[in-house]
Structures are given as structure tokens and as C-alpha cells.
Structure 1
């Protein structure tokens, strides 16, 4: 999942721990990103977004409540 509000991105990474760590490190090193902050690390019994790609939710055109409903339906 990827959220964007016109200024900031929020992305959910999921998968095997080593893969998630590798992707997160690559994101932090990428010069196109400013301040990268890890908000939460959780170990779920299953991946909620498996086989769904990375649906973008642009909060400039989508109301936050509608994005929340869409995310919870995924």
C-alpha cells in the first residue's frame, strides 16, 4: 500500500524479514527520498496485501475516510 498526500508518502512493506529490511535500506539510501522514518514494525500471521500489487491512494483526490474504507477492503 502507498499513501500520498501531495507532500508525503506512507508505504507499507511486507514479506520475509530479510527482504523487507533490504528494501527499506534501499529506500533510505535513495537520494530522491528526504526524511525516511519507520513508524511501525509488526509481525502479522499473514500478509494483508499479498498478491495485490501496491495500490496507490492519492489523498489529494481521495478523502481520507474513503481511502481508509478501500484499504480495509483490500
Structure 2
């Protein structure tokens, strides 16, 4: 099971760090978003997240929308 999640940076790129079995794995947000979307749907993970909080039932992730933070927003 996942022990901890945290938002961080690797070489200036925002990442989601996933702690399991005492070791961390860093995923760029596009990687993390695709993995979570396969299980929970595209809107389950804000892209990128600003904050991750552990709760009794799992994790709460806070962020701003489903954008890429590069100045492009697509709407209907």
C-alpha cells in the first residue's frame, strides 16, 4: 500500500512522490495523471496538484483544474 504522497520538484519540474515500502518514486504529473485516470477517471487528480493530505480513507489531493499550467486552457 501507499504510505505517503507528497508534491515536490525534481530539477525544477513538479512531481508527485509516492512512498511505498519505505522508498519514494517520483512521477511527473502527466505520468501520475494518466495512471490515476486509468483507474479513477480523468478528473480524479488535479493537474498538477498543489497539496496532498492523508485521510482515514486514503488521500485528498488539492489543485487547480485539469490543465497543464503552461498558459493553455481548453473549454467547451
TM-score (norm. length: structure 2): 0.20
Larger radius of gyration: 1
- Between structures 1 and 2, the one with greater helix share: 1
- Between the two structures, name the one with larger relative contact order (CA 8 Å, sep ≥ 6): 1
